[in-house]
Amino acid sequence: MSLLRALPFPGRNLIAASLLSATAVACSGDVSSIASPSSSGPIAVPDSPPSALLAIGTYANPVAGASFYVDPYSNAKKTATAWRTTRPADAIQMDKVATQASAKWIGNWNTNVYADVYNATTTMTAAGKVPVFVAYNIPQRDCGGLSGGNLTAPTAYKTWITNFANGIGNRRAVVILEPDALAQMDCLPVSDWQLRFDLMKFAVQQFASKGNIAVYLDAGNPRWKSAQTIGSRLVNAGIQQATGFSINVSNFYTTSSNIAFGTQVSSYVGGRHFVIDTGRNGLGPTSDYQWCNPAGRALGDRPGTVTGNSLVDAFLWIKTPGESDGSCNGNPGAGTWMPEYALGLAQRG
């Protein structure tokens, strides 16, 4: 693995030295140890960089007061309209989904990322709304899991990210950067870890350079990695140039548990702020913490920037409620609209 590049903030050499003492969390998923290329066994997880060296100073929430875009042609809206006569009570429930803003995911299915992002941004800003995008195309995405992989090469990814950022330009927007890419990277060979960090840093720099894009690196969820581990990965991935981090994307943990976890993570990354995916967390997770289309879940806090916590910039519906998590238990592939599942979420939330 190549050496960590000098980090662009005071004390960077000290931080680089501490981070270079470790390379990867063991594939067993044990967050209490890491694999060292220079030793035959696990060593202790290094302390994350001192918060003072990452401190952001005075912070102005970049999305304060923002109103997010509600797609008038969403699947939820189409379903509610179709049900209005034949299933009027269900249509009213579906309106709970159809009337709320959800993020727009951009991935390897977008054949012209610049045009798609440019056009979407233009439509949303013309309506007086702030776009929320998800960048989801990191090489070896999901390591072939249920959310689907991709064949994006590193050089192609850099071009893709550059076109993505250029599509937004100097307009105001929110970008959630690569859900699962840091929390799930144990599935990668250790030799690929630095490449992932470097690609994430490149993406952060591209979005940050535009001036009005709030970019949040994804940090997993409260039960995936420890706050210390994910904090260290966020630093390696360039959070010092980002707005903050996102948590609970496509998951079900309660808002209170996410605030507790996010506050812990924030303490390892200089007080960075965060956003929470609240689309399906109204009743929290199942007792066995299923993540793939679990039954009995509910809509959560509605999207908005009034969160009641000074570290939480916004509640967002990042994963669109009602879209499949993957082809588990007889369900359709990731991203497929499931109207009856969406209805259940709405009825309970």
List, by residue number, the catalytic residues. Answer: 142, 180, 325
Task: Give dist(CA 266, CA 264) in Å, integer.
Answer: 5
Q: Which of 244, 248, 169, 240 is nearest to 214 (CA)?
A: 244
Task: Give dist(CA 221, CA 215) in Å, integer.
Answer: 18
Q: What secondary structure does DSSP assign to 244-292, as a single string?
A: EEEE-TT----HHHHHHHHHHHHHHTTT-EEEEE-TTBTT---TT---S
> From the CB of residue 214, how many other CB atoms can be counted at a distance below 10 Å?
24
**What is the token pair recorded at 197?**
């960090």
Contact, 294 vs 252, CB < 8 A? yes
Task: Give dist(CA 97, CA 47) in Å, integer.
Answer: 42
Task: Give dist(CA 122, CA 129) in Å, integer.
Answer: 10
Task: Give dist(CA 177, CA 199) in Å, integer.
Answer: 11
Q: What angle do CA 245, 249, 255 make, to 5 degrees?
A: 85
Which residue stretches of the chain are H helix? 12-19, 75-86, 88-98, 113-126, 154-168, 193-208, 227-236, 255-268, 339-348
**What is the token pair recorded at 188?**
């990668």
Q: Which of 263, 265, 262, 258 is nearest to 279 (CA)?
A: 258
